[in-house]
């Protein structure tokens, strides 16, 4: 049984990586053919004013990449995951052997909601990216519209946790559980919005892919040891697909993840964190700030920057979020990326330990 469970996790993960590697050349071809990049370079700061320091960084470090590197690379991730998930489910309907049936990990209790979160976020992100590459350069779907979308989807998922899966508490390491009742719904919304805000980590070649793959790998391990094998297989499949994306995203990147990747992944990460909490008799939510620490520090650096500029009239960072600040003070992009990867691995190990405490 243990061997079959391991196979159930690793085969889909490997399949997603292979599918992604095979799919990438075709995706790259069409992204370049249809010039899927911003036609007008530049961005505004968090306070709505011109991002002066970012423009300096773009002209010196990232010269030309913003209008020459395709966006929508996140398509590779969710297409690969969907192909493997639905493909193994379909295969199990027609090939009735123990191994094939075992490989099917699409289940109502563990993977319906994570897959729904991934695809709903990915499709809204795709729409945003589609608007973002138009010649008008209007910057995609308005932020408040995207935030409203994430809020509504997470409200539904939070309700599903509460009403359908009976989640009414979160685990507290050392103290058992914290009863929340219906408050688990707004908590899930808050966690999802916070993770989504961390999606701006997709700003340096290879950075987001390394951080997200490590986080989902950690939750695959947590789910496995909680005997949520379908969820572990789904998390492993995500990891394999993200690693395939990362293969083509390391410097010089063939494409960027952008919203069609980050929105779906951050929403899915929130779902899996809650799935590995009381439903798995663990502490998946408590471990989330540690496992996703690079995302957390990204959000915090933005918040600190906005508050400091608004109330004190000065900036704490040259550029927010933190990874761009490190570039602005002279760190090469590859050094920022690799050190984030190292931190992500350490945080994943510590977070897994906490999530599995008994």
pLDDT of residue 140: 86
pLDDT tens string 5-39: 999 999 999 999 999 999 999 999 999 999 999 87
129-133, 173-177, 252-256, 287-291: least confidently modelled range: 173-177
* pLDDT above 70 for 151: yes
**Which tokens sit at 13?**
């993960």
- Average pLDDT for residues 338-346, to the nearest whole number? 98
Q: Hey, is 177 helix, strand or coil?
A: strand
pLDDT digits (tens, 9 = 90+) for 36-93: 998 776 665 545 555 666 666 655 655 556 668 999 999 999 999 999 999 999 999 9
Closest by CA position to 348, among listed 235, 258, 185, 229: 235
Higher pLDDT, 4 or 86: 86
**DSSP three-state, residue 148:** helix
d(CA 334, CA 2): 39
What's the rounded mean pLDDT across residues 315-322?
Answer: 93
**Number of helices and strands (H, E) in the chain?**
14, 2
30 touches 69 (CB < 8 A): no
In this prediction, residue 38 carries a pLDDT of 84
Q: Give the separation between CA 186 and CA 5, rounded to whole angstroms.
A: 34
Lowest model confidence (mean pLDDT) among 33-37, 174-178, 250-254, 342-346? 174-178
Backbone angles phi, psi at 50, to 5 degrees: -55, 135
Q: Is residue 97 pLDDT above 70, yes or no? A: yes
List the Cα angle 235/240/245 in 5-degree steps.
120
Tell me how many domains the chain contains. Answer: 1
Evaluate if pTM is beyond 0.85.
yes
Report pLDDT for 329.
93
Quickly list DSSP for 289-333. Answer: HHHTHHHHHHHHHHHHHHHHHHHHSS-SSSSSSHHHHHHHTT--H
Q: How many CB atoms lie within 10 A of CB 318?
A: 16
* Residue whose token pair is 């990915």: 122
State the pLDDT confidence band at 139, using cuts at 50, 70 and 90. confident
- Rounded (10°) CA dihedral 97, 101, 103, 105: 180
Range of the domain at 289: 2-355
CB neighbour list of residue 230: distance below 8 Å, 6 or more residues apart: 105, 106, 107, 109, 110, 111
pLDDT at 351: 97
Which stretch of DSSP H or E encloses residue 273? helix 259-275
Examine the pLDDT at 3 and tell me if it is beyond 60: yes
pLDDT of res. 11: 97
Mean pLDDT of 135-142: 78
Question: Is the pLDDT at 285 greater than 60, yes or no?
Answer: yes
CA atoms within 13 A on the CB side of 157: 34
Give mean pLDDT, residues 146-165: 97
Q: Helix 143-159 and helix 184-197: axis angle, to 10°?
A: 140
pLDDT at 330 over 90: yes
Interval 212-259: pLDDT, tens = 999 999 999 999 999 999 999 999 999 999 999 999 999 899 999 999
Q: What percent of the chain has pLDDT over 70?
A: 92
DSSP string of 43-97, one letter each residue: -B-TTSSB-HHHHHHHHHTSTTTTTTS---TTHHHHHHHHHHHHHHHHHHHH---
- Reduced to 3 states (helix: H, G, I; strand: E, B; else coil), residue 178 is strand
Which of 43, 215, 205 has the alpha carbon at shortest distance from 138?
43
Region 96-114: mean pLDDT is 95
Bridge partners of 44?
50
CA distance 34 to 27: 11
Distances (CA, A) of 232 to 41, 141, 216, 237, 275: 40, 33, 9, 8, 11
Q: DSSP of 226-242, one letter per residue? A: TT-HHHHHHHHHHHHHH
């Amino acid at each position: 049984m243990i061997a079959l469970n391991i196979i159930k996790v690793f085969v889909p993960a490997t399949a997603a990586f292979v599918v992604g590697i095979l799919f990438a050349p075709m995706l790259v071809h069409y992204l370049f053919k249809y010039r899927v990049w911003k036609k007008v370079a530049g961005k505004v700061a968090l306070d709505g004013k011109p991002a002066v320091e970012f423009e300096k960084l773009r002209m010196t470090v990232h010269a030309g990449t913003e209008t020459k590197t395709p966006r929508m690379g996140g398509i590779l991730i969710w297409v690969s995951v969907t192909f493997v998930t639905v493909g193994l489910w379909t295969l199990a309907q027609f090939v009735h052997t123990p191994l094939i049936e075992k490989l099917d990990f699409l289940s109502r209790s563990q993977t319906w909601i994570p897959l729904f979160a991934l695809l709903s976020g990915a499709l809204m992100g795709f729409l945003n990216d589609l608007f973002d590459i138009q010649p008008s350069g209007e910057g995609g779907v308005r932020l408040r519209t995207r935030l409203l979308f994430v809020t509504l989807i997470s409200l539904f998922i939070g309700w599903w946790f509460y009403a359908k899966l009976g989640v009414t508490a979160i685990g507290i390491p050392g103290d058992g559980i914290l009863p929340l009742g219906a408050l688990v719904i707004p908590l899930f919304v808050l966690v999802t919005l916070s993770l989504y805000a961390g999606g701006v980590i997709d700003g340096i070649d290879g950075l987001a892919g390394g951080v997200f793959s490590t986080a989902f790998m950690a939750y695959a391990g947590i789910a496995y040891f909680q005997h949520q094998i379908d969820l572990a297989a789904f998390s492993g499949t995500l990891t394999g697909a993200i690693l395939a994306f990362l293969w083509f995203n390391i410097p010089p990147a063939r494409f960027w993840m952008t919203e069609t990747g980050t929105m779906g992944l951050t929403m899915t990460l929130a779902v899996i964190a809650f799935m590995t909490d009381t439903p798995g008799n663990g502490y998946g939510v408590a471990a989330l700030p540690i496992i996703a620490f690079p995302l957390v520090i990204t959000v915090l650096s933005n918040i600190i920057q906005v508050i400091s500029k608004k109330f004190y009239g000065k900036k704490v960072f040259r550029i927010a979020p933190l990874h761009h600040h490190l570039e602005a003070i002279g760190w090469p992009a590859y050094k920022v990326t690799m050190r984030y990867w190292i931190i992500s691995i350490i945080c994943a190990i510590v977070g897994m330990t906490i999530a599995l405490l008994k």
